[in-house]
Amino acid sequence: MARKKDATQLGRREREILDIVFRLGEASVGDVMEQMADPPAYDSVRTMLRLLERKRFVNHRKDGTKYVYRPTQSKSAASKSALSHLMATFFADSVADTMATAFDLKSDDLSEQELAKLQALIDQARKEGR
């Protein structure tokens, strides 16, 4: 029986592999291994990709003699799910607390364009009564 998708239940290596597959769009075992800083054995990566498939994070298609894996959901959907979990876990679902921490981490890196985008998002939320 396939388990429900929950990226928080993935191990470090599984998350690393899933990140690579998202970044590349689709990837074979060899492609994943090339992107890993310290890859385990080929069979280990293949096994982890099969586990990710069983957990419904990726699916595969056959390309000649190899399998090519791709994410089962968009990066946008996956990032929203991950951020929602992060907010619930560390920030009591507070958008303000989450953003305050993001500002603490990246305040020196914010461009005028990014600040304007954030202000526009805040203005839009106010306009919509959120």
Please name the helix (run of DSSP H) or strand (run of DSSP E) that holds residue 45, with its range, or none.
helix 42-54
Is residue 63 in some structural domain?
A: yes
Report the 10 Å Cβ neighbour count for 48: 20
Does one domain contain both 15 and 49?
A: yes
Domain that holds residue 119: 91-127
Lowest mean pLDDT among 14-18, 28-32, 46-50, 80-84: 80-84
Is residue 95 in some structural domain?
A: yes
pLDDT at res. 6: 60
β-strand partners of 27: 69
Count of domains forming the chain: 2
Q: Is 111 helix (H, G, I), strand (E, B) or coil?
A: coil
For residue 62, give the CATH number of its domain.
1.10.10.10
pLDDT at res. 102: 85
Comparing CA positions, the residue from 9, 7, 11 lying closest to residue 73 is 7
| Distance between CA atoms of residues 53 and 91, nearest Å | 31
* Average pLDDT, rounded, for the chain: 88
28-74: per-residue pLDDT in tens? 999 999 999 899 999 999 999 999 999 999 999 999 999 999 999 98
Is residue 82 in some structural domain?
A: no
